[in-house]
Amino acid sequence: MRVLIIGENSRDSHILNYFCQRGMETAYIGNVFSLRSLSGEIGGFTASTEDDEIKADFVVIAPRGRHGDVTQGDGSVVFLLDYKHESPMASTIYALESAAKIARKKRQVFYLARFIRTAGRGVEALYKEAREAGVTFIKYEDIQVNTDTETDVSTIHVIGNDKGGESAYFILTKTLFSDNSDDFCEHFEHLKRVLNLRTNKHGYLTEDMYFLAPALTNRRGVFHLTGDLIAERLDEGLDFIYASMCLHYGQRVNDKQGVNPASQNVAEIDSKKCVFCYNCYRTCTHAALEPDTDESQMRCRTAACEGCGICVGICPANAITLCSQNTTEPSPCVPRASTLVFCCENSAVDAVKGVDGIECKVVPCGGIIDFERLSGGLTEYDKIVSVVCPDDACRHFDGNKRACVQTKRLHDMLEAAGLESQRVRIIQVSHAMPQIVLEEMVV
C-alpha cells in the first residue's frame, strides 16, 4: 500500500514515520499549489503535479496546524483560532492551556478568535486562568496574515469592533499557532477544488460529522487530519485511517470492524438511457461519477461509490440503478401492511423493524427516496413514512435533506388538493434514538 501525504505541517515527519513503521510506502507533496489534479479512485489514485505524476492507493491531507513549538523561544506568541463558528473543543483547550503556560513566563501572548467558545469541559475556568496569567484576548471581525519567508516574521492585521467603533491592530510574531485557519484560506480552497471535495454548511470537511466518521472525507480513500486531531489526538486519527486502509484490502486491524466498509451497493448506468445531463456528477457526494466524453455518457468509479443511491433518486432518465440494493420485501403470505416505511440504514433500522403493521424498506441513504417512490406507495398503503438521519449527521452529507424536500413536496401537493396530507411524513432520528421512532410511529 502506498499513501500520499499532502500539505506542510509541523507533524509531517511523525505522520510519515507512522505509515513507514507499518510497512507502507509513502510519498509527500508539501507545496499544495504544485498539485494540478487527482484522478482515479481508492487503490489507484494518480496525483499530477507541475513536474511529476505520483501513484498512490490513499491520500491523507495534513492541515498546516500550528507553526513551530509555541512553548519555546522568545517574543510575542499568537494563538489564532480562525473559525466561522465555535472552534473545536480540543483546539480551544490546547490553546488556552498553552497560552496561560507561556504568559506565566512573562511573554506577551495574544488569543485571537472570531467566536469565543464559552461552553465545554471547564472552558470558563481556563479562560479565567489565562486572563489572570496576562493573556490578551481579541475577538475580531476580519484578519490578514502575511509572513516574510526570509525573517519568518508574521504580520497579523486584526480588525475588530469596539464599543466606540471599528478598531485595528497590527501584531508581529515569529511564533504563531494557527489551528485550522487554513480551512478558509487560498491553499485549502485550491485543495478542495483539485481533489473534488465537499464541505458542510460551515465550510468544514469533517467537523460536524466527526462522531460518525473521523478523518473521512466525501471521497473514499482521501482522508483529512482535522485541526482537532492534529492538536490533541493525532495518533487516534492515524489509527482510524490505517484501519480504514487495511479494511479496504480485507485485512483485520486490532479487531476493528465497520470502518468505512466497501458498500455492496454500486451505481450502474444504462448507456441507452443516459442523457449526459451531468445531474448525477454534480450531485454525487463521493466523487464517484464522472463524464465519459468518448461515449457521451456518465460512468461510475465503482471503488469510489458508497452506494448511497442519491444519484438514482436524482437521475431524470432513470438511467441509474444500484446493483445490490438492501431492501426488505414482504412475504407473499403476510397480509398487506398499512404503513410503508423507507428507512435509511444509518438511522434507527432496528427500532422501525420492531413496529407492528408496517412494511420496512431499508435504503442505503435517504437521498434515494424520490417523489415517484413516495407517491407510488400511496396507491397501496395508508401511510408513507421516511426515516432518515438528523441534519448534519448524514454520512453522505445531504441525502437526508433531499429526502425531507421530496417528502414535503408530496405532503404539500396533497394538502393543496384537499387530500389527507398526514398520510405522508418524515422522521429524523439517529440509531441511538429508538424510543423517539416508536413514539412517532404511533402518532
Q: What is the pLDDT of residues 164-216, one digit of tens each?
A: 555 678 888 877 776 544 444 567 778 888 888 877 665 666 544 444 556 77
Q: Which of 237-241, 268-272, 360-364 has the lowest mean pLDDT?
A: 237-241
Report the half-sphere exposure of 307 (CA within 13 A, side-chain side). Answer: 19
Q: Where are the alpha helices (DSSP H) in 41-167?
A: 89-103, 123-133
pLDDT at 59 over 90: yes
pTM: 0.61
> Between 420 and 252, whose confidence is greater?
420
* Confidence band, pLDDT 50/70/90 cuts, at residue 4: very high
Task: Phi first, then psi: give them for residue 317, nearest 5 degrees.
Answer: -100, 5
Residue 220's contacts (CB-CB under 8 Å, 6 or more residues apart) are: 41, 42, 260, 286, 288, 303, 304, 305, 306
> Which grid cell is 212?
460518525
Look at residue 257 in the predicted model and tell me its pLDDT: 38
Look at residue 192 in the predicted model and tell me its pLDDT: 83
Look at residue 252 in the predicted model and tell me its pLDDT: 42
pLDDT tens string 252-270? 444 333 344 444 678 999 9
- In this prediction, residues 239-252 reach a mean pLDDT of 76
pLDDT at 136 over 70: yes
Look at residue 113 in the predicted model and tell me its pLDDT: 87
Look at residue 163 in the predicted model and tell me its pLDDT: 56
Look at residue 206 in the predicted model and tell me its pLDDT: 56
- In this prediction, residues 373-383 reach a mean pLDDT of 88
Look at residue 133 in the predicted model and tell me its pLDDT: 95
User: What whole-number percentage of the chain has pLDDT above 70?
Assistant: 79
Residue 439's contacts (CB-CB under 8 Å, 6 or more residues apart) are: none
Look at residue 71 in the predicted model and tell me its pLDDT: 53
Look at residue 327 in the predicted model and tell me its pLDDT: 45
Look at residue 336 in the predicted model and tell me its pLDDT: 57
Look at residue 175 in the predicted model and tell me its pLDDT: 78
Which among 160, 164, 165, 155 has a CA at the least distance from the CA of 136? 160
- DSSP one-letter string for 262-327: PPS--EEE-TTT-----HHHHH-TTS-EEEETTTTEEEE-TTT-----HHHHH-TT--EEETT---
- In this prediction, residues 30-49 reach a mean pLDDT of 90
DSSP H or E stretch at residue 358: strand 358-363
Tell me the pLDDT of the chain averaged across its residues. 80
Pairing of strands 289-292, 297-300: antiparallel
- In this prediction, residues 219-239 reach a mean pLDDT of 74
pLDDT tens string 307-351? 888 899 889 999 999 886 444 444 444 455 788 999 998 887 877
> Between 209 and 442, whose confidence is greater?
442
- In this prediction, residues 288-305 reach a mean pLDDT of 88
> Between 246 and 424, whose confidence is greater?
424
pLDDT tens string 147-161? 776 777 888 888 876
